[in-house]
Amino acid sequence: MKTDDLIRGLAADTRRERSLESGLARALCIGLAGAVALFALILSPRAGMPGLMMEPRILLKFIVTLSLAATSIWLALRLVRPGADARPLVWALAIPAGALMLGVVTELVVTPLPGWMPGLFGHSAIYCLSLVTLMAAPVLVSALYALKRGAPEHPMLAGAAGGALAGSLGAALYALHCVDDSPLFVLVWYGIAIGFVTAAGALIGRRVLSW
């Protein structure tokens, strides 16, 4: 085919596409709706939940997970936009990481040594791992779907950002149910769960996000 002919054909395809931002926003609404439905089906908010939200250790869970989600959205959008540099944004990961570290240090200072380990292992570590992953799954699918409309230079990294986004939103949702409030628990078990979903996003992204 002649290039001129191809150009004529391409110009005739006037379908308007939504922006990456609105595509991702829409996908997240759908994914979160799925996750909330799962939550409603198998879990319930812990007793006294909306009121407990302002408890420092509980609030910390939401600060950490939601700031990680926000950073991941921002990173993911840069990673799928050709010519955009995502590197300067990596520093924004210091917000969730810093908040969590602050919580961990405070916990270690105010809790006597014998309380550390029970806090770290909590009541429901395995439960936490599997439920965060489960809550994250619909968000991961929808986020990757939206990111597929982009054009990442490194599909694996873009997939990882989508995974971190899904994992942190899944964790935020699970935090409504979770009764383990030690920042040590959050660091280890939320960390492993989000890390797992991030890795899954990277592996799937490598396959499905190349264009």
Partner 1 sequence: MDDREQRWMQLMQAALGGDQPAYQRLLREIAPAIRSVVERRLWRMGAPTGESEDVVQETLLAVHLKRHTWRVGDPLGPWLRTIARNKLIDHLRRRGRRVEVPVEDFAEMLAAPEERPGTEAEDVERHLALLPDKQRSVIRSIAVDGASVGETAERMKMAPGAVRVTLHRAFASLSARLKADE
- Local structure of 76: helix, strand or coil: helix
Contact positions toward partner 1, by CB under 8 A? 1-20, 80-84, 149-151, 153, 210-211
| Alpha-carbon dihedral angle through residues 65, 172, 57, 99, given to the nearest 10 degrees | 0
CB of 117 to partner 1, least distance (A): 49
Q: What whole-number distance in Å separates Cα of residue 139 and Cα of residue 27?
A: 8
CB distance 180 to 132 below 8 Å: no
Closest CB to partner 1 among residues 57, 81: 81
CB of 34 to partner 1, least distance (A): 25
Closest CB to partner 1 among residues 4, 88: 4
At residue 141's C-alpha, the angle toward residues 160 and 130, to 5°, is: 80
Closest CB to partner 1 among residues 1, 109: 1
CB of 2 to partner 1, least distance (A): 5
Closest CB to partner 1 among residues 150, 183: 150
CB of 147 to partner 1, least distance (A): 11
CB of 128 to partner 1, least distance (A): 37
For helices 191-208 and 125-147, the axis angle rounded to 10 degrees is 30
Closest CB to partner 1 among residues 15, 87: 15
Q: What whole-number distance in Å separates Cα of residue 121 and Cα of residue 3?
A: 63
C-alpha dist (Å) from residue 70 to 46, 64, 110, 119: 25, 10, 30, 27
